[in-house]
């Protein structure tokens, strides 16, 4: 029987003037949306507020639920990992693409990226690239890199 670990995440879609805020772990080649792991007993909007306060020092407004993206990969030990990211539109009035975004966590950097740069920045999970390029608030977002998704 194959074993795998499932990670539940809350991710923020923060958009300003056609650009999205992306995070990157120092030394990594890929980027991802800000946010993080949901703690046991924690609601998703609370998780996003907590994570963005920890990462950026910002008190944000968690807005519209956009949808879910499923993603799988093999870790360095050959174990299957699955993440389910819950995506929300987040507003942070003091955060604009005109200014650098300082990280409060030493292992992370942040940058604004236009929708046509998402492939070059290796945004993961990859299915997010299409969703952000299309950026349609009128439909529920769903994408998956799982088999049959």
Going from N- to C-terminal start, the domains of the chain cover: 4-144
CATH architecture of the domain with range 4-144: Alpha-Beta Complex (3.90)
Is the pLDDT at 75 greater than 50, yes or no? Answer: yes
> How high is the pLDDT of residue 95?
87
Whether pLDDT at 13 is above 60: yes
Query: What percent of the chain shows pLDDT beyond 90?
Result: 66
What does pTM read for this prediction? 0.90
Average pLDDT, integer, range 117-121: 96
Average pLDDT over residues 118-140: 91
**Any residues with CB less than 8 A from the CB of 149 and at least 6 apart, and which?**
70, 143
For range 58-64, the mean pLDDT: 93
């Amino acid at each position: 029987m194959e074993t795998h670990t499932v990670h539940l995440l809350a991710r923020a879609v923060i958009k300003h003037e056609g650009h999205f805020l992306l995070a990157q772990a120092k030394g990594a080649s890929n980027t991802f949306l800000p946010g993080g792991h949901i703690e046991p007993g924690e609601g998703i909007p609370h998780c996003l507020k907590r994570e963005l306060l920890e990462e950026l020092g910002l008190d944000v407004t968690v807005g519209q639920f956009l949808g879910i993206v499923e993603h799988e990969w093999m870790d360095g030990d050959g174990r299957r990992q699955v993440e389910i990211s819950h995506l929300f539109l987040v507003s942070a009035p003091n955060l604009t693409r005109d200014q650098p975004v300082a990280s409060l966590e030493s292992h992370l950097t942040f940058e604004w990226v236009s929708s046509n740069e998402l492939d070059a920045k290796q945004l993961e999970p990859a299915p997010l690239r299409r969703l952000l390029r299309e950026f349609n608030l009128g439909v529920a977002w769903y994408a998956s890199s799982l088999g049959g998704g």
